[in-house]
């Protein structure tokens, strides 16, 4: 199943990624109608009685989303680096964007 997430610039700038209830990915999942899913460092929850547990290790589309999101956080927060995330982070200016993930 593919889901297109609308990540909003204001969610990136105003919310703390480390708070799973208010992080941009959780908010985008809820905007897409998946209120039972949450980003806790991986996307977790239940859809149609099936347990969902997607991480950067087992899902390339989620890894790409994290890389882009963390690159935007790195624009204004120096704690988001290659060594702290394990991803290829290049700081970019935060902006709203869409990203499709596969569940």
The domain locations on the chain are: 2-102
pLDDT of residue 26: 94
Quote the pTM value: 0.87
| pLDDT tens column, 47-91 | 888 888 888 888 899 999 999 998 998 887 777 766 667 778 888
pLDDT of residue 88: 81
Burial class (CB in 10 A: 0-12, 13-18, 19+), 23: buried
Tokens at 4, concatenated: 């297109």
Q: Quick one: average pLDDT of 2-13?
A: 94
Residue 27: pLDDT above 90? yes
Residue 32: pLDDT above 80? yes
Quick one: what percent of the chain has pLDDT higher than 90? 43
Contacts of 10 by beta carbon, 8 Å cutoff, 6+ apart: none
pLDDT of residue 84: 65
């Amino acid at each position: 199943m593919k889901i297109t997430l609308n990540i909003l610039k204001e969610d990136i700038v105003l919310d703390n990624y480390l708070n799973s209830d208010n992080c941009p990915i959780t908010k985008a999942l809820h905007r897409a109608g998946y209120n039972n899913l949450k980003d806790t460092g991986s996307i977790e929850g239940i859809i149609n009685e099936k347990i969902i547990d997607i991480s950067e290790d087992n899902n390339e589309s989620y890894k790409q989303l994290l890389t882009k999101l963390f690159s935007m956080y790195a624009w204004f927060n120096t704690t988001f680096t290659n060594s702290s995330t394990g991803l290829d982070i290049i700081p970019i200016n935060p902006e709203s964007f869409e990203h499709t993930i596969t569940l």
